[in-house]
Structure 1
Amino acid sequence: MKPSRLLPLLLAVLKFASGFLLASRAYELHRDEYLYLNYGQHLAWGYIEVPPLTALQSWVTLQLGGGYFWVKFWPFLWGSLTVYLVARAAQRLGGSGWAVGLAGLCYLLGGFARLNFLFQPNSLEVLAFTLVSYLLICYRQKERAGLLLGMGAVLGLGLLNKYSALFFIGALMVSLLLTDLRRLLLTRALWMGAGVAALVWLPNVLWQLQHGIPFLHHMQELHDTQLVNVSGADFWKDQLLMCLPALWVWVPGLVALLVYRPLLPYRVLGLIYCLGLLLLTVLHGKSYYALGYYPVLFAAGAVWWERQLEGWPRGQRWLRPALLLLPVLLLVPLLPMTFTLFAPARMQQVGEAYRGSGALRWEDGRDHSLPQDFADMLGWQELAGKTWWVYQQLPPETRNQTLILTANYGQAGAINYYNRSRPMPSAHSFNGSYLLWFPRRPARPWSYLLIIDDEVPDADLFPHFRTLRQVAQVQNAYAREQSAAIYLGTAPDAAILARIYREHAAAKALWESKRP
């Protein structure tokens, strides 16, 4: 293998291996991962939260046993491919091995470390945006129509992965108009590429239309409950913090793409960043929505630094190794909050040094023992095991006449994941895509109702059961779900069952018919 190809490959291998080496197995999967894994048992062309590409990965994962390695395989794989593209982009822009190493380190040590640890659509989105940027570099060097078709296929897959790809596509099209690449808009190859993207995305579009376009309601709810609280100042502060170890690389990289003569042919990449983040700022997008715009800036910034050091032959002897070491040194104080290095008890002690910094602040505005993401990776197996134990205590002859109803998708997903090989009914919820999977009302009434909730059931529920009592509770003191309890209701009457199905129908109708 050529040395020029070896370094990007080594960076990719390092990225994949580090995901397992820097994670404590004291933590379980994240609440979102359980939801996405449940997609694999309900394959469709769409879901309330995201398009279907995540579900395909979930299905493959479950076919392979569904173990921890295969769950994490996907984000580690997408992260590895992304750092490979970053390194290759640095080479394409004229960088030597030093620039390739610097660009790769910026990706390895930035906000992508946490992103590529979780099985979510975000890792694949970053890969898709980076691949499109890489193909644009290739097109600038060799104007081949096949590259534009490839871009269309990647963008189509991006839309099948996450709807925020629409922001990137909008920034891309306007950026083309603002550069000499506007001539592409008159070529058959570009519009064929657009056709490929539309064709790839079409099944999900049809699914959305069939289900009343739940995406619109999802965006409205997201805006009303979360995005409305995202200020432009906070968004840009997070942009500086997310890739802090690489700040001194990506900022020069952005400027170089816009005004540095050797990189001016690739100005479109700098404009994509500017327009994409402007769009996210105006629409109050979440900070991490912007992560896919950064990898190509690492490559450009590394090449710019290399060119500047070439004019200082004596200084670059010590500056080159020093600049490679700098992102590592900048990451050291952030390590405990970036990787799940320490088990919860030890992490609680380490976290005291970060109290008041915002790293331990949860959605309730208060500091806790662990970062919220870490606490969201605890207590799930305990909850699932106790649900199975309660189910086993029911009389065998009526055990399968049990409805398991949870308060949120994390609880339902965890119960279904850890009990996936056990003879137990699936857990359900009125939360998210679980609305689409709720069981039909059986001809024979339910004999038992297992309710998993963080709050005590309302007093008006008790008269509708022969007995309704708490039978178990999550005890893990570090878990965000530590207050989740399991309530067993026996012989639910017709009125409460009718109420459950009315509430389900109303919640589902809200997603399938309401328009912002």
Structure 2
Amino acid sequence: MGCQTAAVDIRGDDRLGLQPFALRSVALVAAVLFAVLIALSGRYGFHRDELYFLLAGRHPAWGYVDQPPLTPLLARAGTAVFGASPTGLRVLPALLSSCSVVLTALLARELGARRGGQVLAAACCACSGYVLAMGHLLSTSTFDLTAELGVLLLTLRLLRTRDSRWWPALGAVIGVTLLNKQLVLSMLLALLVALPAARPWRETGRRPCPGKARLLLGPLLALLLALLISAPTLWWQATHGWPELKVARVLSHVDGVSGRLLFLPLQLLQFSPILVPVAVVGLRQLLRDDELRWARPVAVAYPVLCVLVLVGGGKPYYPLPLLLAVTAAGCEPVVRRVRRSWRVLTPLLLLAAATSALAALPVLPVSAVAVTNAVDIDQGEQVGWPPFTRAIAAAWTSIPTAQRAHATLLTSNYGEAGALSRYGSAYGLPTAYSGHMSLYEWGPPPDGDDGPVLLVEQADGQHRLEQPFSDCHTVTRIDNGLGIDNQEQHALVVLCTGAHRPWSVLWPSLREY
């Protein structure tokens, strides 16, 4: 029982060879998803976050207070290549979601799935409400989903083969993922905590291998590559006082106790309740099948990550890439055990797709968004921006022409500033300023702009934004005309005669996270 015998046992892949990849069928599922997403991409309008990303893309930097640079750069690239429209912006998210479908099928293949299991894994991914939502809108989570599935695929390949040649690829993917979001670090921590469940170091040999110390070189190389690729954004965060941590604390406080209590129900709703049984089968398969012992860290990491996210006050959808990997593990057993599997599974998948689409995609008329908005608030944040801009433009004309050259336009949040940046030029509106998130870094207005201030005040009755200004009165209220209760509905458009202090002195008091 020498080194060679021990090495074979550590790899543990002799009994589990990869099945041929069902490329055509999986590609068909991915193509159908892409076609559906593109067909529905322009039915409503830009989401408030997309408007912010478009605005941030015009201020390129290695970091922003609430995110790394990749998503704003994708927004800028997407509209430059495919057009400055909701559809043009959303081509890249649709492509990324199609890639997520392929990666989920590859995860199932890595876990021993044959053609049927791979196709079911692809279909489960395409029918998930979370995947549909991420493919419809450009967000930091859009790229994060695809990248984390890639990290999981490479992790499984390493666990299965013990082939150190995969470490550089894993490090590179992690580094690129960190240019978009730091959430992958939580997933890696969960996997590291779960690693003992696989007992990958157990050997049958007695004699130590002389090259064993080299096993550390792979992880170190992966770490160095990840740090090298992500160094610019990490340096930006460090030199700016790690503002992303401040934003995370604020968001955690906003969600509060109720967000933690609803964590698991919301997660399963976003994933799709109809697909949960497949995930349960996958969890059981990973925990009980001795031939998949090497992949057990994925099963253990899922609840570990849920706990980490709960403690940190994160969003329910953060662990969903891991849940998709667990679901992929259940697809082959489901196909094998269900008699006449596709006659049974196809109606269930169609039902999952229909319910997910109703919740996550703009399949209903705009007039019906008030209904779906109660389930998914992101639906309501895609409507009303052109009427919002027209209302601001009408209020702007109430300022005497002679005073407009020194007047200032101030908004409560980045969505409003992004909308005015996107639509305001058609009405002759000036640059809109805001102290919200990274827009604070792009201010303040010049001190020479000491004339009237037109501002948007949220309809919470507290009038916080008006406090530093004189003689304020409401000009109009925002009404999207559809009765949709989004963040701007019934907001006040307020005109003030001026600020109490110069903008350079006043600006720090207007910062908002």
TM-score for the superposition, normalised by structure 2: 0.83
Residue 323 of structure 2 is matched in structure 1 by 294
**Of the candidates 75, 83, 91, which is equivalent to residue 58 of structure 1?**
75
Percent identity, aligned pairs only, is 25
1:245-300: CA deviation from partner (whole Å, max 9, x where unpaired):
21111111122112113322322222222321232233333211121212222221
- SS in structure 1 of the partner of residue 374 of structure 2: coil
Residue 324 of structure 1 is matched in structure 2 by 346
Looking at structure 2, the residues matched to 226 and 10 of structure 1 have their Cα atoms a distance apart, in angstroms, of 39
Looking at structure 2, the residues matched to 295 and 268 of structure 1 have their Cα atoms a distance apart, in angstroms, of 14
Cα deviation for residue 344 of structure 1 reads 3.1
Return the letter of the residue paired with 1:506: S
Looking at structure 1, the residues matched to 103 and 480 of structure 2 have their Cα atoms a distance apart, in angstroms, of 44
In structure 2, the CA distance between the partners of 1:462 and 1:157, relative to structure 1 (3 Å rule), is: closer
Residue 197 of structure 1 is matched in structure 2 by 226
Cα deviation for residue 69 of structure 1 reads 1.8
Could you tell me which runs of 5 or more consecutive residues in structure 2 were left unpaired when the two chains were aligned: 1-19, 202-211
In structure 2, the CA distance between the partners of 1:49 and 1:461, relative to structure 1 (3 Å rule), is: closer
Looking at structure 2, the residues matched to 110 and 66 of structure 1 have their Cα atoms a distance apart, in angstroms, of 28
Looking at structure 2, the residues matched to 98 and 379 of structure 1 have their Cα atoms a distance apart, in angstroms, of 44
Q: Does 1:483 align with 2:493?
A: no
Looking at structure 1, the residues matched to 302 and 433 of structure 2 have their Cα atoms a distance apart, in angstroms, of 41
Looking at structure 1, the residues matched to 259 and 357 of structure 2 have their Cα atoms a distance apart, in angstroms, of 26
Q: Does 1:360 align with 2:377?
A: no
In structure 2, the CA distance between the partners of 1:330 and 1:474, relative to structure 1 (3 Å rule), is: closer
Q: Given that residues 407 and 451 in structure 2 are in contact (C-alpha distance below 8 angstroms), is that contact kept between their aligned partners in structure 1?
A: yes
Residue 98 of structure 1 is matched in structure 2 by 116
Looking at structure 1, the residues matched to 228 and 112 of structure 2 have their Cα atoms a distance apart, in angstroms, of 35
Residue 7 of structure 2 is matched in structure 1 by none
Cα deviation for residue 51 of structure 1 reads 1.4
Residue 32 of structure 2 is matched in structure 1 by 14
Q: Given that residues 21 and 106 in structure 2 are in contact (C-alpha distance below 8 angstroms), is that contact kept between their aligned partners in structure 1?
A: no
Looking at structure 2, the residues matched to 271 and 235 of structure 1 have their Cα atoms a distance apart, in angstroms, of 18
Residue 437 of structure 2 is matched in structure 1 by 432
Looking at structure 1, the residues matched to 395 and 345 of structure 2 have their Cα atoms a distance apart, in angstroms, of 58
Cα deviation for residue 395 of structure 1 reads 6.6
Q: Does 1:447 align with 2:451?
A: yes
**Of the candidates 48, 64, 67, which is equivalent to residue 65 of structure 2?**
48
Return the letter of the residue paired with 1:216: L
Looking at structure 1, the residues matched to 270 and 470 of structure 2 have their Cα atoms a distance apart, in angstroms, of 51
Looking at structure 2, the residues matched to 392 and 181 of structure 1 have their Cα atoms a distance apart, in angstroms, of 70
Q: Given that residues 473 and 484 in structure 1 are in contact (C-alpha distance below 8 angstroms), is that contact kept between their aligned partners in structure 2?
A: yes
Q: Does 1:67 align with 2:61?
A: no
Q: Which moved more, 1:76-85 or 1:417-426?
A: 417-426
**Of the candidates 257, 266, 279, which is equivalent to residue 238 of structure 1?**
266
1:198-257: CA deviation from partner (whole Å, max 9, x where unpaired):
1222212211122122123222222222244423x4212223323312111111112211
Cα deviation for residue 66 of structure 1 reads 2.2
Within-5 A mapping of 1:338-357: 338-347=360-369, 351=371
Return the letter of the residue paired with 1:86: T
Q: Does 1:272 align with 2:289?
A: no
Q: Which moved more, 1:50-59 or 1:399-408?
A: 399-408
Q: Given that residues 245 and 331 in structure 1 are in contact (C-alpha distance below 8 angstroms), is that contact kept between their aligned partners in structure 2?
A: no
In structure 2, the CA distance between the partners of 1:325 and 1:458, relative to structure 1 (3 Å rule), is: closer
Return the letter of the residue paired with 1:190: P
Q: Given that residues 24 and 341 in structure 1 are in contact (C-alpha distance below 8 angstroms), is that contact kept between their aligned partners in structure 2?
A: no
Q: How many residues align?
A: 477
Looking at structure 2, the residues matched to 205 and 507 of structure 1 have their Cα atoms a distance apart, in angstroms, of 26
Q: Given that residues 86 and 296 in structure 1 are in contact (C-alpha distance below 8 angstroms), is that contact kept between their aligned partners in structure 2?
A: yes
Calculate the aligned-residue CA RMSD, in Å: 3.1
1:87-135: CA deviation from partner (whole Å, max 9, x where unpaired):
1222333323321221112111112212322211112111111111111
Looking at structure 1, the residues matched to 437 and 191 of structure 2 have their Cα atoms a distance apart, in angstroms, of 31
Q: Given that residues 469 and 496 in structure 2 are in contact (C-alpha distance below 8 angstroms), is that contact kept between their aligned partners in structure 1?
A: no
Q: Which moved more, 1:203-212 or 1:331-340?
A: 331-340
Cα deviation for residue 324 of structure 1 reads 3.1
Looking at structure 1, the residues matched to 196 and 170 of structure 2 have their Cα atoms a distance apart, in angstroms, of 17
Q: Given that residues 457 and 465 in structure 2 are in contact (C-alpha distance below 8 angstroms), is that contact kept between their aligned partners in structure 1?
A: no
Looking at structure 2, the residues matched to 129 and 469 of structure 1 have their Cα atoms a distance apart, in angstroms, of 47
Residue 411 of structure 2 is matched in structure 1 by 406
1:301-325: CA deviation from partner (whole Å, max 9, x where unpaired):
111223435xxxxxx3x23321232
Looking at structure 2, the residues matched to 478 and 8 of structure 1 have their Cα atoms a distance apart, in angstroms, of 41
Q: Does 1:505 align with 2:508?
A: yes
Residue 285 of structure 1 is matched in structure 2 by 314
**Of the candidates 128, 136, 148, which is equivalent to residue 117 of structure 1?**
136
Q: Given that residues 453 and 485 in structure 1 are in contact (C-alpha distance below 8 angstroms), is that contact kept between their aligned partners in structure 2?
A: yes
Looking at structure 2, the residues matched to 452 and 184 of structure 1 have their Cα atoms a distance apart, in angstroms, of 62
Looking at structure 2, the residues matched to 216 and 450 of structure 1 have their Cα atoms a distance apart, in angstroms, of 32
Q: Which moved more, 1:479-488 or 1:372-381?
A: 479-488
Q: Does 1:387 align with 2:415?
A: no
**Of the candidates 327, 330, 337, which is equivalent to residue 359 of structure 2?**
337
Looking at structure 2, the residues matched to 439 and 281 of structure 1 have their Cα atoms a distance apart, in angstroms, of 37
Residue 4 of structure 1 is matched in structure 2 by 22
Looking at structure 2, the residues matched to 263 and 458 of structure 1 have their Cα atoms a distance apart, in angstroms, of 57
Could you tell me which runs of 5 or more consecutive residues in structure 1 were left unpaired when the two chains were aligned: 310-315, 362-370, 512-516
Looking at structure 2, the residues matched to 177 and 294 of structure 1 have their Cα atoms a distance apart, in angstroms, of 20
Cα deviation for residue 146 of structure 1 reads 3.3
Return the letter of the residue paired with 1:483: H
TM-score for the superposition, normalised by structure 1: 0.83
- SS in structure 2 of the partner of residue 115 of structure 1: helix
